[in-house]
Structure 1
Amino acid sequence: MKAKVLVHVFGNDEPGLVESIAELVKANQGNWLESRLSHLGGRFVGLVLCEFEKAQLNDAITAFNEFKLAGLELKAEACDIEPLTANAQVTLVGNDKPGIIHEISQCLKSLNANVEKLESAVEAAPMSGGSLFKASLEVHLPEAVELSDLQQALEGIANDLMVDIEVN
């Protein structure tokens, strides 16, 4: 029988961090299933989902939680909840301004939609010299909510935010 472990990663970015985490997984006879790791805000941050035999579970969690490397913190916990499957994609592009994600997330909450994945960035806008905000979301809609409901709700706030929103 297998069990999943979710590892939270936070620390100073330097070469070899991924290898150090992978070595911990291997040393505890685990399998690296999925990860989201990134250099963000001057730090190395992310999540790693691993799988271990139940007999190794406690030893693996302890190894991650006791891991010591200058400037890197790992926190591991058993993870037995199966993820939802995103059934809508939302992309957004517009001039950057405070509150865009807040407005979008409020809109999604009003539909009881769950954000499965969110990636965003601010880039230099071509030709205008301003800042361009871009976001991509994977969203799980409840059964009672149609894709057209999501499209209509987001279009209702797009003009106020001065962004282009596409829903698939």
Structure 2
Amino acid sequence: MQIHLVLTAIGPDRPGLVRAVSDTIADGGGNWLDTRMASLSGQFAGMVLVAIDAEKADALIASLRALDSQGLRIIVQRSDAHPPVVGRTVRLETIGLDRPGIIRDISHVLAEAHVSIIELESELASGAFSGEAMFKARARLLLPEGLSLVNLCQALEDIAGELMVDLTLDEAAEAVHV
């Protein structure tokens, strides 16, 4: 029987870290399924979903933890199969002058509407004309059954002005600007 392992890895960024993790997974009989990785402030950080036969999991986990000797801290969480999630996905894009609390305030609105954040990426970039720090975020959201996109737009619109950001919700080909 196959199980899933969700790995998180962090350590000082240097060439060869992904190779070390991928070699360890392959040598242990695991199958690398899904990944999110980035270099943040000189630190390598990543998440990997691995499928493996249940009887090989403990040995693979021990091998992954041995990567600590190379400066890579690995945390492993076993994950059982979950029933398919019901709902629809939308994309949310945010851009505005950087200030503390943007993600906090948006995530509060989403949580109150029972919206799940499937993926979230953010970055700080220099404004094209002004050179000021611009905060940009992109998220893929899972809306619960019965939640109207119009209602979610209204809830986000209520905070967009306070945050001084532009928010865009996009469902398939139709974009709704907030």
1:31 aligned onto 2:56: no
Runs of 4+ displaced beyond 4 Å: 83-86
CA RMSD across the alignment:
1.6
Offset at residue 86 of structure 1 (A): 6.0
Q: 1:99–1:3: structure 2 CA closer, same or farther, 3 Å change rule?
A: same
Matching residue of 2:158: 156
Amino acid at match of 1:106: H
2:139 to 132, 137, 145: 137
Aligned runs of 1:66-81 on 2, under 5 Å?
66-81=66-81
Aligned runs of 1:52-67 on 2, under 5 Å?
52-67=52-67
Matching residue of 2:125: 123
Q: Is the 8 A contact 1:6 1:48 kept in 2?
A: yes
Matching residue of 1:105: 107
Matching residue of 1:46: 46
Q: Paired residues, what number?
A: 168
Amino acid at match of 1:132: M
Offset at residue 18 of structure 1 (A): 0.4
* 1:4-29 deviation digits (Å, cap 9, x = unpaired): 11111010111110000011111111
* 1:31-70 deviation digits (Å, cap 9, x = unpaired): 1001111101210001111111122122112222233333
Q: Is the 8 A contact 1:88 1:147 kept in 2?
A: no
Q: Is the 8 A contact 1:93 1:165 kept in 2?
A: yes
Q: Is the 8 A contact 1:121 1:134 kept in 2?
A: yes
Larger CA deviation: 66-75 vs 78-87? 78-87
What is the distance in 2 between the residues matched to 1:95 and 1:144? Answer: 33
- Please, what TM-score do these two structures have when normalized by structure 2? 0.88
What is the distance in 1 between the residues matched to 2:65 and 2:46? Answer: 15
Matching residue of 2:94: 92
What is the distance in 2 between the residues matched to 1:86 and 1:26? Answer: 34
Task: Give the share of equivalent positions with the same residue, in percent.
Answer: 33
SS at match of 1:32: strand
Q: Is the 8 A contact 2:88 2:144 kept in 1?
A: no
Amino acid at match of 1:157: I
- Please, what TM-score do these two structures have when normalized by structure 1? 0.93
Q: Is the 8 A contact 1:86 1:138 kept in 2?
A: no
